[in-house]
Amino acid sequence: MKKVVYFLTLGLMIGFSSCSSDDDVLSSESSVSGLKNTAKTAKIAVTDPSVGTTTTLNLTNALLSSGTTTTGGKYWENTYVSNTNLSVDIFTFSHTATSVGYNYWDGFIVSNVNDITDYGSGSGPGGSDGWVPHQWGTMAGSGFGTSSTTTPGTPGTSGDPFIVAYWSSYLDPVAPQGSAFTESGFSNWIKIGNTGLYKVEGLKINIHPWPYYGCLYGDGFAQPFISGDHFELLIYGVDENGVLTNPVTQSLADYTGPSLVMPTGWINVSAPKLSSLGDVKYLVFQMASTDSDPIYGMNTAAYFCLDKLSVKRVE
């Protein structure tokens, strides 16, 4: 929660939005939870494909035709618009936002920003001040389709869009496997289709620049990783009864061996690894880091990037 308050306050300082007093900034977990739980989701009708059909997430630059321009490209124009979800193909991505008095978002957005600069200098070495207006990149430089032919960190180099996710951990229950799922109870979920059941056949994951540099150098909240540290993404399914499965764990940064391992290219999370999720209606994402506070949660910046989610309708 300290990060949420910090981000919103910093947004005011750097001109994201303006308020008449400090009271306009979110100052408690209940306030932020209220934003999540009272927001009405703008629904777009989704039709399930026929049984046996495989659908792969296809992000195109048409999604960013009206996007907000920033260093290195564009990000989704609805990032700070309430009552909106990102819908692509048969996938509906969670998204919570406001721009009333301050700017805040969590969940998922789409971006094509090719910028892997370390903005951790802020007000001093390893600070966080510089990250908030530059939270739109991926360490691969572009979406999976063109990442091998796009030079990461070269603004203006064309590349495919990708999904940027921010996990707002203040809301989510810890270790939710076996519990009932509700859309309002979790920050980061993807609904697949409408009423069908799906087997997840693969997806691509990439580390976001903010946690990447935070694990290397620290960032004002996070400490540089030392031997024994690790940072990972947890992927849950929601079964036909609305119950969360046990998670699949995908490493993003690992210093449990002789050196820190942080792949900057897209990581393939394969069908065999995802098979333990079973047949699902939703995917739910959480994160974990050894650099965490017992009260406030993760110090590592809670961002990741995603592309090429592929599912097959089974029922």
Structural domains in the chain, sorted by start? 2-313 (2.60.120.1350)
Q: Is 133 exposed, middle or buried (0-12, 13-18, 19+ CB in 10 A)?
A: middle
Q: What is the pLDDT of residues 223-264, one digit of tens each?
A: 999 999 999 999 999 999 999 999 999 999 999 999 999 999
CA distance 280 to 294: 32
Tell me the Cα Rg of the chain: 18
Question: What is the model's pLDDT at position 38?
Answer: 41
Q: What is the mean pLDDT of residues 81-86?
A: 95
Question: What is the model's pLDDT at position 227?
Answer: 98
Question: What is the model's pLDDT at position 84?
Answer: 95
DSSP-derived secondary structure for 94-161? -EEEE-SSS-EEEEEEEE--------TTTTSTT-STTTGGG----TTSS-TTTTTTS-TT-TT-----
pLDDT at 34 over 80: no
Question: What is the model's pLDDT at position 125?
Answer: 52
Q: What is the mean pLDDT of residues 177-193?
A: 97
Instruction: Quickly state the pLDDT bin for 158 (edges 50, 70, 90).
Output: low
Q: What is the mean pLDDT of residues 122-146?
A: 82
pLDDT at 12 over 80: no
Instruction: Quickly state the pLDDT bin for 146 (edges 50, 70, 90).
Output: confident
Token pair listed for 133: 């207006």
User: First CA to last CA across the chain, in angstroms?
Assistant: 40
Question: What is the model's pLDDT at position 141?
Answer: 93
